[in-house]
Structure 1
Amino acid sequence: MKKTIFGIITFTLLSMNMLAQNTIGDEIKTLSKNKWQWMADKEVDKLAKLFDDKSMFVHMGGSWGKERELEVIKTGFIHYKQADIHEVLSPIVIENTVILLNRITLLAVVNGNEVSNPFMVTEVYVKVGNEWKMGSLSFTKLLIP
């Protein structure tokens, strides 16, 4: 009898943990998808709320913090015209941190030139209070689309 009760409790707790991780993963996937659209639409106010003040951004041409990334988007120095998302890997949840990998083809205008590149994008989100904040966004160019 004790083994049965222990088994039921264990199963319930594991199920609740998996459900919570799926819910968090779905929330982050939606947030990521929205972020790509906000970047395309240059909605810097929404992005400013999403990006943590200590966030870092890694591009092919350098790395910088939140204020520079927002300025780059606002001025159109990099216009993220369209991110075609080919694959979103299962989010990795580590306590209050989520790592999300996206395989994309990014159509962008960089310094006035339209370019298209295949990337694996690493996004790191951290729960701050009741909100998810982006801590890092890194682009790794892929050799094969």
Structure 2
Amino acid sequence: MKKQLFVFALLLLSANLSFAQSSTEQEIKKLSMDKWQWMADKDIAKLTPLFHPQAKFVHMSGTWTTPRELEIIETGSIWYKKATVHDTAVEIVGNTAIVWNRITLESVVRGNDAKVEFTVTEVYQKEGSAWKMLALTFSSVRDTHQLEK
């Protein structure tokens, strides 16, 4: 009887840990999707607390810091009009979350329309009760690129 109770307790604990992880993954996935909308809306008020002050942003034309990324979004130097997310993978390691989104990004870059396939890597770290983005990297890929999960 004790053995059965112990096995049941382990199964219950395992189910709770699995749910907690998927709940965290869902939270991060939603945050990532919200971020794309905030970028499209040029909503600096919502992006500022999300972007860690020391974050780095890697684009096709360069790498820059949080203040520069926020300026670029606010001025429309790059307008992230629409990110169509085709696939997402999330991994949680301790208080760090890594998100890979395979997207088609419709944007306006220095006045020119662009539509490009990317895999975007996002790194978040939990600080207190909030997630902060540490890195956002755009990798140009073929439209046949697949995320391995």
- TM class by smaller structure: over 0.9
Q: Deviations over 1:33-64 (max 9, x none)?
A: 11001000100111001111111111111111
Q: CA deviation at 1:29?
A: 1.0
Q: CA deviation at 1:74?
A: 0.7
**TM-score between both structures, scaled by the size of structure 1:** 0.95
Q: CA deviation at 1:125?
A: 1.1
Consecutive unaligned residues of structure 1, counting only runs of 5 or more, are none
- Between the aligned partners of 2:127 and 2:121, the Cα distance in structure 1 is 19
Q: Deviations over 1:9-40 (max 9, x none)?
A: 21122111110111111111111111001000
Q: Deviations over 1:93-145 (max 9, x none)?
A: 11111111111000011111111100011111111011111111111000235
RMSD: 1.0
Q: Name the SS for the 1:14 alignment partner.
A: helix
Q: Where do 1:94-105 residues align within 5 Å?
A: 94-105=93-104
**Residue number in structure 1 paired with 2:84:** 84
Structure 1 residue 5 and structure 2 residue 5: aligned? yes
**Aligned letter for 1:129?**
G
Q: Name the SS for the 2:45 alignment partner.
A: helix
Greater alpha carbon shift after TM alignment, 2-11 vs 16-25: 2-11
**TM-score between both structures, scaled by the size of structure 2:** 0.92
The sequence identity of aligned pairs, in percent, is: 47
**Residue number in structure 2 paired with 1:114:** 113
Q: CA deviation at 1:5?
A: 2.2
Structure 1 residue 56 and structure 2 residue 79: aligned? no
- Between the aligned partners of 1:37 and 1:98, the Cα distance in structure 2 is 20
